[in-house]
Structures are given as structure tokens and as C-alpha cells.
Amino acid sequence: MDAVKKYCVRHGIAIELRSEGWLIVMHRGPRRHFAFGYDIGLNSAIAHRIANDKAATAEVLEISGIACIPHALFLNPRLNEFVAARGSWEAMLRLLERHPSGIVVKPNEGTTGKSVFMVSTKPALELAVNRVLASNASVSISPYVNIEREVRVVLLDHLPVVVYDKDRPSVTGDGKRSLLELALAATPVEQRSAVLPGMVGDLDRADLDAILPLGQRRVLNWRHNLDSGARPILLEQGEIRDACVKIAIEAAKAIDIRFGSIDVVQVDGGLQILEINSGVMMESLNRFHPDLVDDAYSAALDKVFHEAR
């Protein structure tokens, strides 16, 4: 949260970090304000809880008539008193049968993009679910869709402060080298720890060793996370940006969120909401556009301290 620290220094606000840096205590005169994790305190508790729950977010968007990727909730079997008597495994298998091209398994709560798996077989589904539930209280499952582009819209009181496309790393075949060789050659050393693990984990040895035909483009990761090697491309004013901002604002209004990041995906030419995050996490973006990140947090904290007067 360097942007928060910079803001406090500029405005003469005392800042104190507690709980291993997760709790930020800000003092200005008699006023004391808390930020926790990536939540600076502008959102209501219920808006924060809904946004942090992927299945709940999808439910709210669906009943609000907003196009979104559906997410089905499954509780950890350890919460047996809350789990339906019929169990969850059969329902998971039905989802897999309904979506033969694959389903995505991930923690139902959280914003890190970790422990996200795309599976298309029963053994892979069982392994992915067990991995997620080993450290989470619940899992959400959504259909795997061919995402043509993913745009993140950061909104503050329904106004866009940051809008960027997530450009995944890719290579183009030369008819001589394998996919793995091309990926190693195209990926800077400092980016390999972000790009390569996801690719190697998703593909088998035959895919990695296959010679990529001349001129064929291959995306190295199906995930669009910046932490997985995608690059943020700021969207200029135009039709695509306007359309993404429009549906993002509709989604923010549906759950009554003031400051958050909304992931908008383009599937078969149409726009849908993938996720909403009430904790605005921008460390990865900060590597490319630090001034933009500072401006976004400054605008949000201006509202925090102005409204506290």
C-alpha cells in the first residue's frame, strides 16, 4: 500500500502499520481512520462481503439483469452441518458434464488469483477441488469460456479512475522451435517466474515440446492476471472503453459498491462481468503506471478524509 503511505506523507497524516502491515492506522488531529488489507473503508460492510464472495456477486448480478459469468458455490465438507445431505460431488460432476470444454475451479473468496484451475476431466476436477479446499472454506466453479479480452475498470463513486486491458504474454511460431523454447526466448528473465509456472502447470510435455507452426500465435497462459505475466494496456477513449465502463458501473450499483475494481470480459463479442473486487489491489499495475495508481488512491482517500470532517 505504498500509495496510501505517499498520500499520508503529502497530507501530513500520521500513519502506523499493525498486524504485519495488514492494518493501516491513519491519524489526522483527533480523527483516526483504518484501512485493512486493500480495503480503505469507503465501502459498506455488506457491499464488501458480497464483492468478496464470487458466487454471491454472480447471484446479485443475475437478479439485477446484468450479464455475468455464473459461479456455483460449494462449501468445504468440514462445514458438514451447512452442506446439503446429498453432498457436492454429484453437482460438481453435473457442471463438468454440462461444460465439456472445461470448468474453472477457484476459492470462492479472495482476490489474489492464486489456486485457480481450469479442468476438463473428473480426476483433474477432484485434484483441483481438494487443493482449493485444503486452505479455503469454500470453492466456486464457473464454466470455462473463451475470453477474447479482459478489461479491468476501477471505479470511484461510479466514475472510472483506471481502465486497462490485460494483454496476456504470447509467442509466434517459427516452424523450428518448440512452444517451451519460444516461451523461454520471448520471456525476460525477471518475468519467467510469473509466466512459465502457469504455462508448464497447464500443459503436458507433448504440448510444450511441439513445434509451433510458422506464423501461428499462441497465448502462454489462459489466465489474464497481471501476476501471471499479463501486461496492462491503458484504454483510450472509445467505444470499447465506454461499453466496459457502462457495464462496470451497472455492476457497481447493483451491489452498492463505491470503490472497487470490476473485471469485464468479452465472450463471443458480448460483455459480461467476471468478478468484482472491493479491495483495490494495484501493486502489479504500479510497476507500469505508478502515477496512475497514486492518483486513484489519492482520489479515494480524499473522499475518506473529506467525508470525515
CATH label of the domain that carries residue 83: 3.30.1490.20
User: Same domain for 211 and 273?
Assistant: no
The domain that holds 301 is classified in CATH as 3.30.470.20
- Per the listing, cell 502462454 goes with 220
Alpha helices in 213-287 (DSSP H): 239-255, 283-286
Instruction: Please enumerate in sequence order all residues whose Cβ is within 8 A of that of 39, keeping only pairs 6 or more positions apart, or say none.
Output: 48, 278, 279
User: Same domain for 228 and 300?
Assistant: yes
CA pair distance 234, 156, nearest whole angstrom: 17
Q: What is the Cβ-side half-sphere exposure of residue 29, based on CA atoms within 13 angstroms?
A: 5
User: Same domain for 50 and 164?
Assistant: yes
The number of beta carbons lying within 10 Å of the beta carbon of residue 31 is 12
User: Same domain for 235 and 162?
Assistant: yes
Q: How many domains does the chain have?
A: 4
- Per the listing, cell 453435473 goes with 94
- Residue 81: per-residue pLDDT: 66
Amino acid at 251: A
CA pair distance 295, 154, nearest whole angstrom: 12
Q: What are phi and psi of 292, to 5 degrees?
A: -65, -40
User: Same domain for 75 and 203?
Assistant: no
User: Same domain for 129 and 76?
Assistant: yes
- Residue 111: per-residue pLDDT: 62
Instruction: Please enumerate in sequence order all residues whose Cβ is within 8 A of that of 192, keeping only pairs 6 or more positions apart, or say none.
Output: 184
- Residue 82: per-residue pLDDT: 61
Grid cell digits, residue 192? 519467467
User: Same domain for 299 and 243?
Assistant: yes
User: Same domain for 214 and 78?
Assistant: no
pLDDT per residue, tens digit, the chain (309 aa), is 788 888 999 999 999 999 988 899 999 888 889 999 888 999 999 999 999 999 999 999 999 999 999 999 998 887 766 666 566 889 999 999 999 899 999 999 976 667 899 999 999 999 999 999 999 999 999 999 999 999 999 999 999 999 999 998 889 999 999 998 998 988 888 788 878 777 766 777 888 899 999 999 988 888 888 877 888 999 988 999 999 999 999 999 999 999 999 999 999 999 999 999 998 888 888 888 999 999 999 999 999 988 655
The beta strands (E) that lie in the chain are given as 14-18, 23-28, 31-36, 72-75, 103-107, 117-119, 138-143, 149-156, 159-167, 170-172, 217-219, 231-234, 259-267, 270-277
User: Same domain for 251 and 266?
Assistant: yes
**Pairing mode of beta strands 117-119, 149-156:** unpaired
Range of the domain at 119: 70-144
User: Same domain for 235 and 159?
Assistant: yes
CA pair distance 305, 71, nearest whole angstrom: 36
User: Same domain for 216 and 230?
Assistant: no
- Residue 112: per-residue pLDDT: 61
- Residue 115: per-residue pLDDT: 84
User: Same domain for 15 and 80?
Assistant: no
**What does DSSP assign to residue 191?**
G
Phi-psi category of 267—alpha, beta or left, where left has phi over 0 and alpha has psi -120 to 50? beta
